[in-house]
């Protein structure tokens, strides 16, 4: 009985190894996934992490679409403030935002509290925001850049 269980276990391991070692056993979409994940740039990796931070800390106000609610919370999608005021944007995520700002020619004056994020989390969420929806910014926000921004 024990000998049979060992033989079955070894057979399954061998078959599993053959399955995994044969590239034709994966579908084309699975091959694309493995290819893409192995070739991610540092910016792409940061964006993936930033999406998690955004979901946990930002989505409640700025929404999954990044469009805000139009009255209290400004849009991040297509935001001219985000594009033109990089340092101020990073500062707002790092230390919070209070006082009036103008985004896409509309005034907003709701306080955004500091979220207590690490410099890496701030860089990641900024990279996510700056490269999501209609936003495209290939210049990566780095941890060093975030660390250099003071109150």
What is the token pair recorded at 20? 């995994």
Residue-by-residue DSSP string for 99-144: S-EEETTEEE---B------HHHHHHHHHHHTTSTT----S---HH
Q: What angle do CA 56, 60, 66 make, to 5 degrees?
A: 95
What is the per-residue pLDDT across 12-26, written as a single tens digit (0 to 9) for each?
444 444 444 444 434
Query: For residue range 63-122, what is the model confidence (pLDDT) as tens digits?
Result: 999 999 989 999 999 999 999 999 999 999 999 999 999 999 999 999 999 999 999 999
Tokens 């084309």 sit on residue: 28
Distance CA 73, CA 26 (A): 45
For the whole model, what pTM was predicted?
0.75
Q: If you compute the radius of gyration of the chain from its CA atoms, what whole number of angstroms results?
A: 23
Q: Look at residue 59 and tell me whether its pLDDT is greater than 70.
A: yes
Facing residues of 97 across strands?
112
pLDDT value of residue 11: 45
């Amino acid at each position: 009985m024990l000998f049979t269980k060992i033989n079955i276990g070894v057979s399954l391991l061998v078959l599993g190894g053959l399955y995994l070692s044969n590239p034709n056993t994966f579908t084309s979409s699975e091959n694309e996934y493995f290819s893409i994940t192995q070739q991610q740039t540092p910016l792409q990796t940061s964006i993936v992490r930033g999406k998690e931070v955004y979901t946990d800390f930002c989505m409640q106000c700025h929404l999954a679409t990044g469009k805000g609610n139009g009255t209290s919370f400004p849009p991040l999608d297509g935001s001219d403030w985000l594009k033109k005021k990089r340092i101020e944007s990073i500062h707002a995520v790092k230390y919070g935002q209070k006082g009036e700002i103008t985004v896409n020619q509309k005034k907003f004056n709701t306080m955004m509290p500091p979220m207590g994020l690490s410099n890496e989390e701030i860089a990641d969420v900024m990279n996510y925001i700056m490269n999501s929806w209609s936003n495209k910014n290939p210049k990566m926000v780095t941890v060093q850049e975030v660390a250099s921004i003071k109150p």
